[in-house]
């Protein structure tokens, strides 16, 4: 069963990954990804950012992405935690983890969830730069990354 | 009536996050008809929801497109391409 959380608070990566497999003996491998706030983007310094989302749809979209991963690979469990609100460079934004009997499926599912999260989950970043605040523009490379899973 | 939501840069440029909009009376209501009605309000809406702009739409919290049918009571959201993660 996928676990999805959208929250303002930071998360403890070790504790979350432990919880995903605690008490289980059928997991042979778990892959995880942590996204962080960078201090620069598109040639400008970034002092911080605010993440806006679409309450209700966000959770549904993330659950749907995890369900697609479960349909595609033999997974024991998946986890997505995404933060909203104000963050500064170095802060964690997102944690994705996939647990499976074998590493190949865990690696693939983790990357798949992240690629679809980047293009389908309704989050928007507002960056605070020395020149003022600006909305981050979507990258074509993110669409390309999600497209390749269609084959 | 449908509930229309705007997010991120669209919310800012339109100065509105949520409103109730009457469905166009003619034909089978779709996202496309609603967009036409919103664009015809004024230059701001016309510009924000212009055909060449990369806005996205969701109906009842599912990604949708201009051909998606809508009915009274639906929640229709407009927003720019997503940038989470």
Q: What are phi and psi of B81, to 5 degrees?
A: -50, 140
**Per-residue confidence at A140, pLDDT binned at 50, 70, 90?**
confident
pLDDT band at A86 (very low <50, low <70, confident <90, very high): very high
Please compute the mean of the pLDDT values over residues A88-101 and round it to a whole number: 98
Tally A–B CB contacts below 8 A. Answer: 75
**CB contacts, 8 Å: B53 with chain A:** none
CB A54 within 8 A of CB B77: yes
Q: CA-CA distance, A94 to A37, in Å (whole number)?
A: 10
ipTM: 0.93
Q: Is A38 on the interface with B (CB under 8 A)?
A: no
Q: Is B63 on the interface with A (CB under 8 A)?
A: yes
Cβ of A125 within 8 Å of Cβ of B83? The answer is: yes
Question: Rounded mean pLDDT of B13-37?
Answer: 91
Q: Identify all chain B residues contacting A133, using CB atoms and an 8 Å cutoff.
A: none
**CA A32 – CA A140 distance, rounded (Å):** 24
Short-list B2, B3, B7, CA closest to B78: B7
Q: Are A62 and A119 in contact (CB under 8 A)?
A: no
pLDDT of residue A1: 60
**Residue B10, pLDDT above cutoff 90:** yes
According to DSSP, the β-strands at A75-83 and A3-7 are parallel
User: pLDDT > 90: what percent of chain A?
Assistant: 88
Kindly state whether B53 is in contact with chain A, defined as any CB-CB distance less than 8 angstroms: no
Chain B CB within 8 Å of residue A49 CB: no
pLDDT, tens digit (0-9, with 9 covering 90-100), for B31-85: 999 999 999 999 999 999 998 899 999 999 999 999 999 999 999 999 999 999 9
Give just the sign of the alpha carbon dihedral B49, A57, A132, A136: negative
The model's pTM: 0.94
Place of tokens 């309704």: A122
Residue B28: what pLDDT?
85
Q: Please determine, for residue A151, whether its predicted confidence score (pLDDT) is greater than 80.
A: no
**Contact predicate A53/A65, CB 8 Å:** no
Nearest CA in chain A to B76: A57
Better pLDDT: A96 or A148: A96
Across B29-58, b (16+ Cβ under 10 Å) vs e yields bbbbbbbeebbeeeeebeebbeeeeebbbb
Distance, in angstroms, between A18 CA and closest chain B CA? Answer: 22
Contact across the interface for A138 and B54, Cβ inside 8 Å: yes
For residue A74, pLDDT beyond 90: yes
């Amino acid at each position: 069963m996928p676990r999805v959380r959208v929250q303002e608070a930071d998360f403890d990566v070790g504790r979350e990954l432990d919880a995903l497999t605690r008490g289980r003996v059928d997991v042979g491998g778990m892959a995880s990804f942590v996204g962080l706030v960078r201090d620069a983007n598109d040639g400008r310094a970034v002092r911080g950012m605010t993440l806006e989302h679409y309450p209700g749809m966000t959770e549904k979209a993330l659950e749907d992405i995890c369900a697609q991963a479960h349909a595609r690979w033999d997974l024991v469990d998946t986890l997505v935690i995404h933060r909203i609100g104000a963050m500064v460079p170095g802060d964690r934004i997102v944690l994705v983890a996939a647990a499976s009997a074998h590493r190949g499926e865990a690696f693939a599912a983790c990357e798949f969830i992240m690629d679809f999260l980047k293009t389908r989950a309704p989050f928007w970043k507002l960056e605070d730069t020395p020149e003022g605040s600006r909305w981050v523009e979507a990258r074509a490379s993110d669409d390309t990354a999600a497209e390749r899973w269609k084959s | 009536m449908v509930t229309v939501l705007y997010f991120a840069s669209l919310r800012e440029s339109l100065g509105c996050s949520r409103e109730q909009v009457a469905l166009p009376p003619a034909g089978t209501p779709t996202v496309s008809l609603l967009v036409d009605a919103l664009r015809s309000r004024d230059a701001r809406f016309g510009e924000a929801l212009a055909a060449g702009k990369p806005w996205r739409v969701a109906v009842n919290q599912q990604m949708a497109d201009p051909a998606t049918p809508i009915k009274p009571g639906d929640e229709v959201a407009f927003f720019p391409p997503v940038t989470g993660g």
